[in-house]
Chain A
Amino acid sequence: MMSLAEMKVGKKAEIKAMGGGMSLQRRLSPLNIRIGKRIRKIASQPLRGPVVIEVDGRRITLGRGMAMKVMVEVIE
């Protein structure tokens, strides 16, 4: 397992766990970023900038701090 922040651009993964307690989950889940969902990493901005992921064909930008709390298992 690794975080969204560490995972390589272009790879696909499944979300396995979320840190940061309920408040992070409550923010992410309405955008369909939740445990069990498959995602793809689209881009990562340099110097600890935000991360862009794809969920069900939608692109979402999330800050590095949030990305570090979303744990994933890389599929391919």
Chain B
Amino acid sequence: MSALLRIEGLAVSYGSVPAVDGVDLEIEPGELRVILGANGAGKTTIIKTIMGLLKPRRGAIRFDGEHDLLRLRPDQIHQLGIAWVPEGRQLWNTMTVLDNLRMGAFEVPDKTTINTRIGEMFERFPRLAERRHQLAGSLSGGEQQMVAIARALVSSPRLLLMDEPSLGLAPIVMREVFTLAQDINRLGIAVLMVEQNARQSLKVAHFAYLLEHGHVVEAGLATDIAGKKSVQDVFLGGSA
């Protein structure tokens, strides 16, 4: 099967400081893959580079075999069917929940389609429907994460990038988010997730990468990775 997204030899630096150095990674249609790593391992850098927000020093990123993402602007990348749930949600706090969702479908020209999809999101997240006219910044952390996920889904993406979706959430809400990622994936949407919570994310993922200091040090089936000692080290934060 051909990869939906293929990253080869990716190297990204902030000034002269390398954040990601020679990363190879891919995801097939309908898969859920997770990139595990501690703070500063380069996880968010990879996601932002896929999204076109950072320019790499070297490497290639291809989507669907034919699109060279490095030649595209972020808005063009989004239009190919890649949606982003950013680290820390990054909602438009001064906009209502409804306007946040509308912005998620910004390039969809047809109003009926937008409204149908937003309606579907409100069915899935009834709490957001209740709060549709509230400012996004006034919601709780868990609710904000729902908005961030719903905002990414209204564009009907083929690939969903989730950057630490469990960050800063209460344990019960956290589990909800991982189940949600699994549900989304079962709808046929490929999910590439970046996480520090290895235990939870390995339960839902098919395949996992372990990232340390900008390098992939382990890659394999989630069930295999879960048993590795190096992963246990990352759990404890003692891999340096």
Do A and B make up one complex? Answer: no
Residues of chain B touching chain A, judged by Cβ–Cβ distance below 8 Å, are: none
Residues of chain A touching chain B, judged by Cβ–Cβ distance below 8 Å, are: none
